[in-house]
Each structure stands twice: as C-alpha cells, then as structure tokens.
Amino acid sequence: MSSKPADPVPARKAPGKAERKALAGLLRPWQAPQTAGRAGAKSQRKAFSLAGFDPAAKPFSTGDKAGDKQAVEALAVELDGLQNLFYADRRYKLLVILQGTDTSGKDGTLRGVFSQMSPLGVHTAAWKAPSEDERARDYLWRIHQKIPAAGEIMIFNRSHYEDVLVPPVNGWITPAQTAQRYQQINDFERMLSETGTVVLKFMLHISFDEQRARLQERIDDPTKHWKFALGDLEARKQWKPYQQAYADLLGPTSTSWAPWTIVPPDSKTHRNLMIATLLRQALRALDLRYPPDNPALKGLKVV
C-alpha cells in the first residue's frame, strides 16, 4: 500500500488561462482601485464612491437561483478539500475579513461558505466594541492576537476597520488621525502579507431598503430577537455618514497585498457564490502540496 495520502481535493484540472481571465473580468468592476500604500499617499486624495455599486447585482450568477445554490454546495465541498490540503501544507496563513453594516450577511457568509470546512485549522473572531483593557493599548493590539498561525484560516466578522468607521463617524478622531490609521493598517497588512498571510477583504455592500427588511424580520421573528439590539436603529440613522466612511476607507486601504472586493449581498445566495468562488481562486493560486513523505512509513503495516 502506498504511503502517500490520498488527495482530498476533488479531481479536476487546474484553472486554465481562459478561466482565470473570465473570472478576472467578473471581479474587476467589484474591486476598489488599489493604492500603493504609504508610498502612494497622493493617490489616496482621489474620491471613491459606492454609488456605482448596485447591492442587488448578481455578477457571478448563472441567472438561475437553484443552479446558483447547487454551485455554492459544490464549492463548499471543494473548499473543504482545499482547506485540508492548506492545513497539511503549513506554508501559508489565510485571513478573511468580512466587513459590513448590520444585517449585511457576515454571519450568513460564515454559515453558507465556511460551515462545511473541517474545524481543524478554521477559526472565527467576532469583533465588538473594545474592552477597557483593549482601549488601554493601541487599536491593533487585540487584532494581532487573532492573526492565523501557519496552516490556519481565520475569518474576521467585522475587523480592525471598525476603528476607521465608528470613531470618525462619531467624531472621536480627526480626519488627520483617520488618514494616519489608514497608513498604519496598510503597514500592518503588508507585514502580514510579507510573512506568509494571504489577506482577503470583502465589503458587504447592502442596500438601505434590504437592511430595513432584514431588521424588521429580526423584530418580527422571536427566534431572531437575540440578533437585534436597539442600537441597530441608532446606527441606521447614521446610514449616510457610515456609507461615506466606507467610501473614504476603501480607496486608501485597497492595496496590492490586501485589495478590497465589494460584494453585493442583497441576494444571500449570490453573496455566498461570489465569496466562495473567490476563496477557491485564492486557495488554488497557492500551489498547495503535501509535505514530504516520512521514510519511516515505507512498508509499515498496522497489526
């Protein structure tokens, strides 16, 4: 019997040039323009707007909802295999950032895209308001503690980008301090990238009307009351300032090492399809492989 472990990834050819080109064409309109980071500070002065991004769009859809659901299920199976190989390889780390307003689908993405992955090596962190102990330190201190280790996938439900959303909207930091934080975040993510962490950032761009419907659903359904807080209504009153804060950060913090992808999430199925497709693309691009066989296993028999 061969000592080489069976490949858990479903048998299929690596994506060819035509497939990669087609996917790039679908993705390009949904990526924020990239800045050069600290060296490109001047380019960050250019205004970025979310007005041209339709939250109800379905760029990755086949046009058939049932077909899209089947595609998501198939992707979940393939991602499970890729994640097992990723964990065995141990040369990389993967940080997935899900950022968006209330009801934009961060929890739903965790269930729809990541739930079938093996719990071995897959972790999540949900970020809320910092504790007193966390506020006594720099704002990235608590974030760094949750960065994935070798072979791990970490999914952030919200992230360090809350620190360039909530404080500016509420006037707790100045525009100059906000711009300084953009640069600090770029440097932080560049350090992660240069030390083996792949950073995928998804901004779930829900519409005002869809958020209203989802908040109302949480109020009307007793089984969803736990997901609703009166503070959600207060944040909704600040919709325009928060949309502007997102637009302000997307340009300066979309870099070649950690670009932003804007996901239209009004369709939950399409949201999962788009993110799962891009996650598969990122894992395939890593040329994952098993570590060398242990010579001590050759000819070994279990009795």
Query: Mean pLDDT per segment of 10 residues, for the chain of length 303 residues?
Result: 42 64 90 72 65 96 94 95 95 98 96 91 95 96 97 98 97 97 98 98 98 96 92 93 97 96 98 98 94 89 92
pLDDT given for residue 196 in this prediction: 96
**Cβ–Cβ < 8 Å for 117, 41:** no
Long-range contacts of 45-52 (CB under 8 A, 24+ apart): 46/251, 47/247, 47/251, 48/247, 48/248, 48/250, 48/251, 49/247, 50/205, 50/243, 50/246, 50/247, 50/250, 50/262
pLDDT given for residue 9 in this prediction: 42
pLDDT given for residue 145 in this prediction: 96
Domains by residue range for the chain, with CATH: 53-287 (3.40.50.300)
pLDDT given for residue 19 in this prediction: 83
Q: How far is CA 1 from the centre of its chain?
A: 41
pLDDT given for residue 40 in this prediction: 43
Beta strands in 59-176 (DSSP E): 93-100, 122-126, 153-157
The two three-digit tokens of residue 76, written as one number: 């979940």
Q: Alpha-carbon distance 167 to 171, whole Å? A: 6
Q: Alpha-carbon distance 141 to 201, whole Å? A: 19
Q: Alpha-carbon distance 175 to 252, whole Å? A: 13
pLDDT given for residue 162 in this prediction: 98
